[in-house]
Amino acid sequence: MVKRKPFEFGIFEDLESVERYNEETKNRMKYLSRSFVSVAKKWGIVDGQVLDLGMGTGLLAIELAKEIPDVEVIGLDLSGVALEVARKNLQEIEQPLRVSFEKGDVEDIPFSDDTFDLVVSSNTLHLIKNPVSMFNEIQRVLKPEGRFFLSDLRRCWA
> Residue 139 domain-assigned?
yes
**For position 154, what pLDDT does the model report?**
61
**For position 124, what pLDDT does the model report?**
80
Letter string b/e over residues 115-139, b meaning 16 or more CB atoms within 10 A of that residue's CB: bbbbbbbbbbbebbeebeebbebbe
User: pTM for this structure?
Assistant: 0.84
> Residue 119 domain-assigned?
yes
Q: How far apart are CA 67 and CA 2, in angstroms?
A: 33
> Residue 86 domain-assigned?
yes
**For position 3, what pLDDT does the model report?**
42
> Residue 53 domain-assigned?
yes
Domain assignment of residue 40, given as a range: 13-151
CA atoms within 13 A on the CB side of 71: 26
> Residue 2 domain-assigned?
no
Tell which residue, 28, 26, 27, 149, has the closest CA to residue 85: 26
Report the domain count for the chain.
Answer: 1
Amino acid occupying residue 11: I
CATH number, residue 104: 3.40.50.150
pLDDT in single tens digits along all 158 residues of the chain? 444 444 444 567 778 888 888 888 888 888 888 999 999 999 999 999 999 998 989 999 999 999 999 999 999 999 899 999 999 999 999 888 999 999 999 999 999 999 999 999 987 877 778 889 999 999 999 999 999 998 876 644 43
